[in-house]
Structure 1
Amino acid sequence: MILVEADEITRLRAENRALRDELKAVKITPLPDWISIKDYADRVGVTTATVRNWIRKGVLETYRHGSKTMMRTRPRR
């Protein structure tokens, strides 16, 4: 058995309550299916030039939305 001071239990309960409240406030938003080249580059940690090279090589799926090239964020199912 472990002996824990009453004030420590009170502190832990308050911390637990605060964490529970934070979790309840979190909103999970799914990723969009398509993002810009810049957003894709930022997400994977490379330059936009690298992403454009991957596009030219046919490594990444894209589509044009007006003058913007959009990148698929998830593999096709």
Structure 2
Amino acid sequence: MFDKVKVYMVGALPPLTWNSSYSLELSRALAQYIDLEFLSFKKLYRYYILLRMLKAKFLLFQMIMKNSRSKSI
């Protein structure tokens, strides 16, 4: 029944020294029994920065395309 369950555990945001070791040990113990992925602050922050960069590039692309269409008319 629980073979297909995946659990995501989010670390402390921002990382707190007293909570980091507790979260790490808890995730290791749980990973022995369930499919667990631990999302650390560093991993989440990298995804956040990447998404911001992609959004900025997409908005810049939209502006360029809009300007090129208006000039061609």
**Alignment TM class, shorter chain as reference:** 0.3 to 0.5
- Give the number of the structure whose alpha-carbon radius of gyration is greater: 1
| TM-score of the superposed pair, with normalisation by structure 2 | 0.36
Higher fraction of helix: 2
